[in-house]
Structure 1
C-alpha cells in the first residue's frame, strides 16, 4: 500500500456526498417563462396539461419561481399549463438547462393563474371536469417529496400525467420544501406544518363534482399524506364521501415503525393502499442513515408491509428508470404506463380496484404482495 492515508468508509462517503452537492446545481425555475422566438402556442404538436396547485409556499417575486421555499400561513391556489414537447420520450423529463425553454424539445410551464378564493378555484376545476366525458371526471391529487421546488414538482406531475395518459384533472399539493439536498430537517418540519393545509385542500376538492379521487404521494410527501389521513381517520372523516379510489405511496420516506402505527390507527379495513418500494433506493439509504439506521418503508420487505393491510409492489427488478432508483414510478416507461392503465380503468370505490391495479402491474417483473 502507498504512503497515503486511507479515509474510513463513512468519512469517504460524506466527502463524496459533499463534493456531489457542491458540484451539482439545479436547473432554472421556469414557471411562466415562454420563449419569445418559439412560443408554446406555436408548437401545435406539443401536449399541454392544465395542472391545478394548492400550496403552503410563500409567493416569490423571482422570475420563473412563482412560489418560494418559505412557508406561508395561508393556503395558496393557482394553476399552470405544462407543455410537453413533441419529441418527449416516455419516462424522460426533458427539462431545459437554460432559459427560455424550447417547447419543441423541452418541457415548459406557462399561463400561471392565481385564484383569490376557494370558490374561484373550484369553478375552474369544475370547468375542466366538464370538458371530460362521464367516467373520466376524476381528480388526481399529487403530493411531491423532499428537495423539490415548485418547478420541480410541476414538471414531474406534467411528465407523470403525460406518460400515464391520466384522463382526469391533476392537482398538485406543493408544500414548502426548500428545494435543497442539505435542508432535510427543514423539509421534514415543512411537511408537518403543511398537514392541516393538505386536509383543507382535500375538503376543497371534495366540494367539486369529481366522480372519484386518486391520491398519489412520493418520498417525504408520503409522510405528510399519511399524517393527514390518520388525522382524518381519528375524527371519523376519512373518505366519508366514498369517492377515494386509490392511495398510492411511492418510495415512502417513512420510519417503518411509525408506518405500522399509522396503519393500525386506520383500522382493519383502511381501503386501497398501495406501496411502491425498491430495495436499491439510494435516496432512502441516505435517509435511513440520517434516521439513525431505522428502515424506511420504501425500501422495506414486501411481505412485512403486506401484513399491515397494504398491497406492496416491489420495483427492485426494474432497472430502466431514467430518474434513478427513487422515482421508478415515473422514470421507468413500463411502470409509469402500467400505473396509468390502473388509474384510468379504475372502477368506482367498492368494486375491488385493488385487484384491477394488481392484475395490471402483475404483467411485469414487478413482484406484488398483498394480504
Structure 2
C-alpha cells in the first residue's frame, strides 16, 4: 500500500476514496477451482450445492483461483461453477476462506468449473438443471454484480443470496470486467458501459432455454448496465415478448437520478411495474459515488417518495441496522432483508399484495417500508 503524503488541495472525493483504501488494503483469496485435497467438497457432509451459470465480459485467467480476470473481453464468455455452502452457514453471512484451500465444512468453496464453447452448450446445461426442478420452479435468476468485485466475490455472493432467499430456480451470474480496486471507479464505470450491449445477447440465450419465467437482480453499478440493457431490449421490441418476467430488482442503484428517470421513460408501463428499487439513505458507498459525480444524488440513496413518483416500487431499507456486509449490500447482509426478497422472488405476486404469513410476519416485525404500486 503506498504511503499517503500531503493532502492539501486534494479533492474531497479522492480523500474519501483514499480512506476506503486504507481501511481495506487486502481482500480474501480467489478460490474458484481450488480443491481441498484433505477434505474434497464432493465428500463434505451436509453441504448445500448450487450450480451457478456464468456469462462474462472478462478475459480468462491462468492464475489459480482467479478463473476470470479484470481485463475486458470483446466476446461474451460462458461458463459455470458449483458453489458449496457449509452446514454451519448463518443467514446474512458469507463465510469466505481467509486462506487456501477452503474447508467446505465451515467455508464456501467453488469447484467443478466448466467452460461452454457456444450458446447451445450452455442452454443444454441450463435445461438439464431446469428439468431437475418441478414445474412451477423452473425460473431463471440473472444476477448482475456491482463495482469493485472479482469473479469470486460475485460468485460467492450470488450463492449466499440463493441459499438465504431459498430461490428454487437456476441462477445465472453476469460478471463484467470490474477491476476490483476501490481506486479504479472510472475503469469500472466504463467496463459497465462496455458490457451493457451484452444484456441483449444474454436475454437471447435465456429465451432459448425451457425456463417458465425469469427475474433480474442487479446491485450497485450493475444496475446501470442492467437498465441500459433493458432500454436496448425495449427499443428492439423484444423486452418481455419472449418469456415471462416476474421481477426486476435494483439494489442500491449507483445511477444518476436524472438518468434513471430518462431510462424509465423509455420502458413500457408493463416493465416499469415489475421494477423494485432497494434504497437506503445511510448508504456510505453511494455518498462517495455522489461526490465523484459532482454532488448529483444516486438512486440508491434518494428520497423514497421521489422515486415512487417515477412509477416504480420502492423498498426502503434505511432503518435496517443488522447488515453484516455494510450499508451498501443490505440485500445480502441483513437476514430480514434476504428473507423479504426471498418471499418476493418465490412468488409471482407483488410485494405488499402477497398475504402469505411469511411476508406478513417479516413486514410486521421489521422497519422495512414498501412504497408504490
Match of 1:136 in 2: 137
Which structure 2 residues correspond to residues 1-371 of structure 1 after superposition, within 5 A? 15=15, 17-22=17-22, 24-269=25-270, 270-347=272-349, 355-356=353-354, 362-363=363-364, 364-371=366-373
Change (3 A) 1:86 1:265: same
- Distance in 2, matches of 1:169 and 1:356, equals 23
Q: For residues 369 and 10 of structure 2, what CA distance do their matches in structure 1 show?
A: 33
- 1:78 and 1:13, CA in 2 relative to 1: closer, same or farther beyond 3 A? closer
Of the structure 1 ranges 7-16 and 197-206, higher mean CA displacement relative to structure 2 is found in: 7-16
Greater than 4 Å deviation, 4+ residue runs:
7-17, 357-361
SS in 2 for 1:244: strand
State how far apart, in whole Å, the 2-side matches of 1:201 and 1:20 are.
34
TM-superposed deviation, 1:244: 0.6
User: Hey, what does 1:4 align to over in structure 2?
Assistant: none
TM-score, normalised to structure 1's length? 0.93
Q: Counterparts of 2:269 and 2:244 in 1: how far apart (Å)?
A: 19
Give the TM-score of the pair, scaled to structure 2.
Answer: 0.92
Write out per-residue CA displacement over residues 142-171 of structure 1, whole angstroms, 9 at most, x where no aligned residue.
000000000000010010000001000000
Cα distance between partner residues in 1 of 2:65 and 2:20: 25
Tell me, yes or no, if the aligned pair for 1:140 and 1:214 is still in contact at 8 Å. yes
Change (3 A) 1:111 1:310: same
- Partner of 2:353, secondary structure, is helix
Shift in Å, 1:268: 3.8
Q: Distance in 2 between matches of 1:353 and 1:208?
A: 27
Q: Deviations over 1:98-146 (max 9, x none)?
A: 1101111111100000001111100000000000000110000000000
- Displacement of 1:17 in angstroms is 4.3
Once the 2 structures are TM-superposed, how far is the Cα of residue 11 of structure 1 from its aligned partner?
A: 7.0
Equivalent residue of 1:157, what SS?
A: helix
Deviations 1:315-359 (A, max 9, x none): 001000000000001000011012112111225xxxx57733996
CA contact (8 A) 1:57 1:76 kept: yes
Quick one: structure 1 residues 357 and 294, their matched pair in 2 at CA, closer, same or farther if it must change by over 3 Å? Answer: farther
Name the SS for the 1:312 alignment partner: strand
Give the secondary-structure state (helix, strand or coil) at the position aligned to 2:117. Answer: coil
| Inter-CA distance 98–235: structure 2 relative to 1 (3 Å threshold) | same
User: Hey, what's the Cα distance between the residues in 1 that align with 2:58 and 2:12?
Assistant: 36
State the alpha-carbon separation in 2 of the partners of residues 223 and 229 from structure 1: 10
Q: Are the equivalent residues in 2 in contact too, given 1:135–1:211 (CA < 8 A)?
A: yes
Separation of aligned partners in 1, 2:242 and 2:44:
41
The 1:61/1:357 distance shift into structure 2, 3 A limit, reads farther
Q: Which structure 2 segments of 5+ residues have no match?
A: 1-6
User: 1:266 Cα shift?
Assistant: 1.2
Question: Distance between the aligned counterparts of 1:224 and 1:16, measured in 2?
Answer: 25
Residues 342, 357 of structure 1: 8 Å contact kept: no
Which consecutive unaligned segments of at least 5 residues does structure 1 have? 1-6
Alignment CA distance shift 1:155-1:304 (3 Å): same
- 2-structure distance, mates of 1:210, 1:228: 20
Identify the range of structure 1 (356-365 vs 41-50) with the bigger mean alpha-carbon deviation.
356-365
RMSD (CA atoms)? 2.1
Hey, what's the Cα distance between the residues in 2 that align with 1:9 and 1:281? 26
Conservation of the 8 A alpha-carbon contact between 1:34 and 1:101: yes
**Deviation for aligned residue 1:219:** 0.2
Shift of 1:209: 1.0
SS at match of 2:234: helix
Equivalent residue pairs, number? 362
